[in-house]
Structure formats: C-alpha cells, structure tokens
Amino acid sequence: MPSEDVHGDPLTILLVEDNLPHAELVKRSLEAHEIANKIYHVSDGEAALAYLFRQGVYADPATSPRPHMVLLDLRLPKVSGLDVLREMKTSNDLRTIPVVILTTSTAERDVISAYAQHANSYLVKPVDFAAFTRLMHDLGLYWLLWNHQPLS
C-alpha cells in the first residue's frame, strides 16, 4: 500500500511531461513500486501552472490536490519547464514543494539554469528501461518517503 504524508493524506505527484510514452513509463514505474497514491499528469507548462495555482479546470483542491513533489521536464510546449520552476519557487505557497527536473538534456547550461531557479534535483532519463524503473523507484523513496518536508 502506498504511503501517506504526516497528515495522513495520500502521496501525490504532479508529472509535467509532454512526451506521452515517457509520461506513461514514469507513471507505470512509480505505480509498480507503490510509491505514490496518485499521479496527476499534465502535458504542458501552462497546464502545470494552472494546476499548481488552482486555476480553471484545476480550481477544486479535491480534484487537483497540492502535490508532494513535481516531476518536471524542461522542454515543454506553451510555457517552458524553467519558467514553471521559476513561478513555483517565487510563490510563497509553492516554493517548498520539491521539484525534480526529469529530462533527456545533459546540457550543462540546462543543469546550471535549473539549479539557479532552485530545482531540488536534476535527473537525466536513462535510455535503458531497467535503469529508468530503478531511478523512478529510488526517486520516489527518497523524495516521498525518506525526505522530511515542512508541514504545509
């Protein structure tokens, strides 16, 4: 059974990924290891910001709960991953949510830019399926179960 946070709420991840096969692989890997109770997926940066700031179709906290972690791709349509990260980390309400960059980019400028915007971690997606599923398992254990976050 997946874990709960200190309030007894189910653990929730917001996955921001425009590549649907990658998104499905992330979801299946996390679900297979029972890391999170719920994974919400949006496919562009504009939708991510709407979800996080509870706007439009994401206005109801019952159907769009605050995530315990955001998995964020950098290359997104409409609004870039770096812009989503910047908006989150300048928001008093969102800045404590861990943001893990999960991308195919190994470019040093992307790594530097992500950390300059206060990303909590920068992970490059492995090409190998087994390595990818191990990465998702370990990532989930660390950020959602082992890591202690402030009470919101």
Which is nearest to 72 in space by CA: 14, 140, 2, 134? 14
- The whole-number pLDDT of residue 6 equals 44
Residue by residue, DSSP assigns 73-138 as: -SS-SSS-HHHHHHHHHT-TTTTTS-EEEEES---HHHHHHHHHTT-SEEEEPPSSHHHHHHHHHH
pLDDT of residue 149: 61
- Using DSSP, state whether 39 is helix, strand or coil: strand
What's residue 147's pLDDT?
62
Q: Which domains does the chain have, with CATH numbers?
A: 12-146 (3.40.50.2300)
| pLDDT tens sequence for the chain (152 residues) | 345 444 456 678 899 999 998 898 888 877 776 666 788 999 999 999 999 999 999 999 999 999 988 999 999 999 999 999 999 999 999 999 999 999 988 999 999 999 999 999 998 888 888 888 888 778 777 766 666 666 55
